[in-house]
Amino acid sequence: MGLVTRPPRRAEDAAADAELVRRVQAGDRGAIDDLYDRFRRPAFALARRVLADDTLAEDVLQDVFLAVWKDPGAFDGARGSFASWLLAMVHHKAVDAVRREESHRRRQTRAEDDLRLTEPTAHGDVEDEAADRVVAERVRKALQGLPAAQREALTLAYYGGYTQREVAALTDTPLGTVKTRMLAGMRRLKENMGSSLGGALGAAAIEGGTR
């Protein structure tokens, strides 16, 4: 998770983000360019980490910022910061892109290779992907069930790769409060998902949290 490029955040950044969103909602075309400049680096780093492909990562960014321009009202400030909402959208679209690419590659493989030779590997891949999807869906649903503050902190850590200290800066929240929210959120995840899945997400969320 340390591969994500993280811009320095200041207390006034949240207010600046809100002002840019307001301008986008007002139809200011220059505001979406400003948002792109502001968030391109962390958004691209997250998409690139999921996709392992620069071109596909750029495509995801284009889709995300086009979606923001078309429907800026989709962002609800009462549910968390714009930064965490945007990164969650980048992650969601990047995962969708991975699935499309994998589906395309599997069709090519079936068309080009002998079924007898590829079936064992393909079967294993399908089982692994099915298991990954089940886990990802359970994580998504479990996060949605958390209070907004806990969900925001864990989303930034789990999807964005941010440390606890960086989450505190992004959300303009004291570090101690962020730690408390993440701990409480992980406890609820364990209750909702089971100790193994909740523990795995919790470990990922706080990886490097003391850096």
What is the rounded CA–CA span in Å between residue 68 and residue 71?
A: 5
* pLDDT tens per residue, range 83-107: 889 999 999 999 988 888 777 666 6
* pLDDT tens per residue, range 124-150: 555 566 656 656 677 777 777 788 888
Amino acid identity for residue 171 in this structure: T
* 38 contact partners, CB below 8 Å, separation of at least 6: 16, 17, 20
* pLDDT tens per residue, range 103-127: 766 666 665 555 555 455 445 555 5
Does the domain at 13-205 match CATH 1.10.1740.10? Answer given as yes
- Asked if residues 170 and 156 have their Cβ atoms less than 8 Å apart, the reply is yes
pLDDT of residue 201: 53
